Structure 1
């Protein structure tokens, strides 16, 4: 029984790694040289994962979001001429975040929710989240519409 449990844990770990590698986001625009046009969630996570437990403003449920800081992401993928990044969702919704914004606000590219890798069926595989928002803050109303999920492509402008 012990070996069966170890095998199941090992197999589920392999499946999770395979799932991370197979989920990709299309990139375009002002990229650094040698950056591929399709990047896996695993590659994005390799930049360093941070986690935040917050009250999700849409679901009103305390949720743990994990992912990569947008500033770190931009520094790695965007060339020095990039002034903004456009995130495009599967449903056609699009959000543009300027360099000034990612340097001023803490913005997270969430790749996991409550520790789990998520697919499009759960509003994944990538989301933009503002983990340090406060409802009373004047920037709350401005940044709330920039929460985007089901991201399929990213354009560096």
Structure 2
């Protein structure tokens, strides 16, 4: 084999791999959240959600053990707007591939968080989107097990029948 041939083939293989990764990154990006119902799938801009976020409040975040300012949207309203109803069950997939199916979303207490202390959430801050409960009711914020249905790093939401 000619000495430069191996190098050219390796470079070509690397180029194809990089193009594939770039295409994958473009279709799955923290800039969008994927919403699915049946065969329909849509991408919603995280930036648009940030701009629409009109609910701002302070509360005690048990994971940070601190009072924080949250900005976001009432999740139930977004579900109704997107799916025409609040689905009984939703499957969430996070950026770290955590996957969970939960119900009970027809409750204005669930907030889709877009900002934390005035700054847009990044993946490092468990964003770009996260779900939290605005009101803890009678639960003790010192007991983290009470908050095991908070969902972070949301990449995809799928409505289930």
Answer yes or no: same fold by TM over 0.5. yes
1:69 equivalent to 2:74? Answer yes
Let me know the Cα RMSD of the aligned residues: 2.7
Distance (Å, rounded) in 1 between the aligned partners of 2:108 and 2:145: 12
Give the equivalent residue in structure 2 for 1:147.
150
> Cα distance, 1:51 vs. partner?
1.4
The list of structure 1 runs, each at least 4 consecutive aligned residues, that deviate by more than 6 angstroms after superposition, is: none
Q: What is the TM-score of this pair, normalised by structure 2?
A: 0.67
* Partner Cα separation in structure 2 for residue 81 and residue 119 of structure 1: 27
Aligned-pair CA distance for 1:97: 3.5
SS at match of 2:148: helix
Q: Distance in 1 between matches of 2:118 and 2:51?
A: 16
Contact 1:130 1:143 in 2 (8 A): no
Deviations 1:68-98 (A, max 9, x none): 1011111100144832222211122233332
| Number of the residue aligned with 1:95 | 100
Structure 1: 5+ residue runs without aligned partners? 1-21
More strand by percentage: 2
